[in-house]
Amino acid sequence: MKDFEIVIREKLFSFSDVAYRDFQSALMPTVPKEKIIGVRTPILRKYATELSKTPLAAEFLSVLPHKYYEEDNLHAFLLEKIKDFDKVIAELDAFLPCVDNWATCDCMNPKVLARNKTALLAKTWEWLTSPHTYTVRYGIGTLMRHFLDEDFDVSYAEAVAHIQSEEYYVKMMIAWYFATALAKKYDAVIPFLTEKRLSPWVHNKTIQKAVESFRITKEQKEFLKMLKI
């Protein structure tokens, strides 16, 4: 282990909260408890901001994979500090295959990605066809975050619907995508449910998440409940 890794790891352990570690562990069954230090997200984000202003940040990003969950999240938060689109894409391509849990996957949202939607969409298609669970999940999340408003096209929803996976965390993200799409583009995506174009599990999970949403009207919720398989 290099000197800068020792410095960063010691800093992370100085933030450790054992009770929070246990709480986090219960939420992430794919991550062994011994990989979790127990650092609360606001503290980790603050440290990422401080670290990003030092040469240690680039050195840390260059070493993969990391040992601890918080090191992965620190990596994710440092990526959000990058201002160059091509660089952040390259860094994401290097990091995503190392991601082993939903929390790290979902916490990354570099603002620079929104600056080049055409290139981002092309890269998203690559992520969706990856053999890595959390790269696929990140691709679906990218379509949900960046392409469900003025840039929406129903072909994007079709691409998500066509994803074939038995991975729980991929199926859950598909359901999350369609529940969010129902809140934003109800008329365009309701046929995916009325025509039963999703797998039964994703179909029902989409309805469950949509019914729990404050952005879905009461009338829409009642109709959705009637569509359960």
For the stretch 132-141, pLDDT in tens is 999 999 999 9
Percent of the chain scoring above 70 in pLDDT: 100
Output the average pLDDT for the chain. Answer: 96
Q: How far is CA 150 from CA 107, 154, 160, 184, in A?
A: 23, 12, 18, 10
Residues 167 and 73 in one domain: no
Mean pLDDT of 8-31: 95
Single residue among 115, 141, 173 that ends a domain in this structure: 115
Cis peptide upstream of residue 191 (ω within 30 degrees of 0) = no
141 and 36 both lie in a single domain: no
Work out the angle between the directed axes of helices 218-226 and 200-211 (0-180°, nearest 10). 160
Closest CA to 93 of 68, 116, 120: 120
Residues 108 and 152 grouped into a single domain = no
Long-range CB contact pairs, 138-144, < 8 A, 24+? 138/92, 138/96, 138/99, 138/105, 138/108, 140/170, 140/173, 140/174, 140/176, 140/177, 141/105, 141/106, 141/173, 141/177, 142/113, 143/177, 144/176, 144/177, 144/180, 144/181
* Per-residue pLDDT, 2: 76
Nearest to 162 by CA among 151, 178, 185, 148: 178
Query: Hey, how many other C-beta atoms are within 10 angstroms of the C-beta on 187?
Result: 7
Of the residues 115, 132, 157, the one at which a domain ends? 115
Q: What does the pLDDT look like over 186-207, one tens digit per residue?
A: 999 999 999 999 999 999 999 9
pLDDT at 84: 97
- Residues 228, 120: one domain? yes
- Examine the domain organization and report whether 148 and 227 are in the same domain: yes
At 110-125, the pLDDT tens digits run: 999 999 999 999 999 9
- Dihedral angle of Cα 222, 146, 77, 104, to the nearest 10 degrees: 50
CA within 13 Å, CB half, 106: 12
Q: What is the domain extent for residue 172?
A: 116-229
> What CATH number should be reported for the domain holding residue 143?
1.25.40
